[in-house]
Structure 1
Amino acid sequence: MTWLAWRQQRLTWLIVAIVFTAVLSVSAYGHWRVANLIQQADVFKASEGYNDIFTDSQLVAILIPPLVGIFLGVSLFAPEIEHNTHVLVLTQSVSRLRWFFVKIAYAAVAAVAAGGLQSIAFDWSWSQYIAALDQSWVDPMTLGARGVDPAAYTLLATVAGAAAGLLIRRTLSAVAITIGVFAVVRVGGMFAWLSLVPTRQDVRQLPGAYPAPPRDSFAFFVDGGFILNDGQRLLNYDPVYQDIIGSCPVDTVADKCLVENGVAAEFIRYYSTDQFAAIQAVDAGLAIAISFILLAIGAFWVRKRTH
């Protein structure tokens, strides 16, 4: 069974390897170009020339896991079941669960390896750029492109594709279901860590000197606003906040104006890079947990299925 699973998936592995060779080549070029600009102390040019490329790289890094996962997962069972070629295997001495888990194991190893390589490539390619330009390591886009997130979400897409192929029995339908599951978990993971991981906060009492920026220049700023004399908080998108800001000049007498408008202090909330592990523990943990749930559903379905 192990040999058969390898024979069936070797073309898939080869295509994934070719794709990641191309990704690593592009990453190597980006790393080399950014390193040259920074060595020349031309940081502005690095920013001007690479902001769009950096954003595109973040987007590509987030899209690679579902694409690879769909390619690996949906192709495991859906085509066989759609054409009834799985019947030949199941009529041999191989148990249904062994057939299921051996095929899943090969795909899962490929998925985790692909996600890990993508994460390493992104870090290596862009770490100098982010450090030179004080970009955030903990904004949602960058979080999804580095650390354990790519491996966890590639695994999720692979298992979701395999489970969808088993249950739906149609390749195109399984692809659509997999995309939907991935998108829901991806967005849900972001809301999960935003809800469960507490933000850091800096408060400036008025009147008074502006506090130094957070020591972590790579922080991801969430929001900020005013604290009124009665303790009420106004966020920076609140219409009342905008009215107060509009009525006060942006100069040395701004504090006096804010105090006259009932403002006691101002605050900012942000995530710091030392919270990266906690954020990814929630985000990747959710993806891995749902992967195991889908794996259990698939195993149960295989065991109970009659054909």
Structure 2
Amino acid sequence: MIWVTWRQFRTQAIAGAIALGAAAVYLLLLGLNIRGDYDRSLAGCIATGCAPGLVSGFEDTYSTVVTLTDVALMTVPGLLGVFWGAPLISGELAAGTHRLAWHQSVTRTRWLTVKLLVVGLGAVALTGLLDLLMSWSASRYDTVEAARFSAPVFGARGIVPLSYAAFAFALGAAAGLLLRRPVAAMGLTLAVFAAVQFAVPTALRPNYLPPRTADIRLDTATLSHADGIVRNGSSLAIGGISLPDAWVLSSGHALDSAGQPPGAEKIDTCLMPGRFDGTIACLAGQDLHVTATYQPNTRYWPFQLIEAALYTAMTAALSGFCFFRIRRRTT
């Protein structure tokens, strides 16, 4: 069965090996460029504090390419589920070739077990190699950026990509067994995987552990890194509030030392159209703060483990469905 599975799967395996080789060359070159620039400009001052211009210049140079690469790698598990998992069983059911194995000495359970293990482990291994390559390539950038909880970085590093690949593959196999048509199974796999990948980071990940709260003083440094300052009636909203080594989930409106909104007069005095530096300086002198909810950076690996366990449980459930379906429903 292993040899037969390999013979049926070798075209996809060869295509995957070629894609892995091309990605390895790209990530190697990207990593060498990042490390070279880091060693030349930041290595000597990163421990004591580099000039803001050096840090922002380094981030601007590589932020777009690293983010796009992370997003591309996050699509790999889904593509493996679509092109490796979905046709795995549906192709044989549609062509009727499964009967040849079932009418000989191979049981349905053994037939399915070999297919899921051989091809599924291949999908996980391919994703794991890309994960390792990307982690090495972007390691210096990740050190400077310190944003491990951002959606592209979290989904393309650590152990969660392996669980994504296992889930996507099992999802494709289950869809193929249910629909029995490769094209329909591929479409269903893509739609469900995309929906899950959207729902988990937005609805579940922020609440894996109870978030903490903190009062953040709106000083010059905090306001300078904010995304925007917006007046909302008699209150003031500060966008993009950040904490060192933390994932800020939400932040409230600006409050004064008494815990009250600063008032329309103070807001009007400080808001200077076209003079952002003046606005920052004025607000920084008002002794304002915001209350933010956040997840500390020390929870990165616990969150990785929780999410990997979640996807592993869904993988086990889908695999169990496959065995139930093929033993009791498929003829």
Tell me the TM-score normalised to structure 1 length: 0.83
* Pairing 1:36–2:36 present: yes
Give the deviation of 1:66 after TM superposition. Answer: 0.6
- Alpha carbons 1:115, 1:152 under 8 Å: kept: no
Residue identity in the other structure for 2:250: D
Q: 1:270 aligns with which of 294, 312, 318?
A: 294
In the TM superposition, what are the counterparts of 1:274-285 in structure 2 within 5 Å?
274-285=298-309
The number of equivalent residue pairs is: 292
Deviates more, 1:145-154 or 1:69-78: 69-78
* Pairing 1:303–2:327 present: yes
Secondary structure of the equivalent of 1:201?
A: strand
- Alpha carbons 2:85, 2:170 under 8 Å: kept: yes
* Pairing 1:223–2:250 present: yes
In the TM superposition, what are the counterparts of 1:248-259 in structure 2 within 5 Å?
249=270, 250=279, 254=283
Give the deviation of 1:15 after TM superposition. Answer: 1.7
Tell me the TM-score normalised to structure 2 length: 0.78
- Alpha carbons 2:31, 2:137 under 8 Å: kept: yes
Distance 2:162 2:25 in 1: 20
5+ residue gaps, structure 1: 234-239
Q: 1:107 aligns with which of 103, 111, 119?
A: 119
Distance 1:215 1:113 in 2: 36
Give the deviation of 1:286 after TM superposition. Answer: 1.8
Distance 1:43 1:255 in 2: 24
- Alpha carbons 1:118, 1:150 under 8 Å: kept: no
Distance 1:32 1:242 in 2: 52
Q: 2:59 aligns with which of 21, 40, 47?
A: 47
Distance 1:226 1:107 in 2: 52
Q: Percent identity?
A: 26
In the TM superposition, what are the counterparts of 1:96-135 in structure 2 within 5 Å?
96-132=108-144, 134-135=145-146
Distance 2:23 2:263 in 1: 45
Instruction: Give the equivalent residue in structure 2 for 1:236.
Output: none
Distance 1:227 1:84 in 2: 66
What's the CA shift string for 1:177-206, capped at 9, x where partnerless? Answer: 111221222123212121232334321579
Distance 1:111 1:92 in 2: 28
What's the CA shift string for 1:21-59, capped at 9, x where partnerless? Answer: 111111101000111111221655433332210111111
Give the deviation of 1:255 after TM superposition. Answer: 7.0
Instruction: Give the equivalent residue in structure 1 for 2:181.
Output: 170
- Alpha carbons 1:224, 1:267 under 8 Å: kept: yes
5+ residue gaps, structure 2: 42-53, 226-240, 271-278
- Alpha carbons 2:220, 2:280 under 8 Å: kept: no
CA gap 1:195/1:306 in 2 versus in 1, 3 angstroms: closer
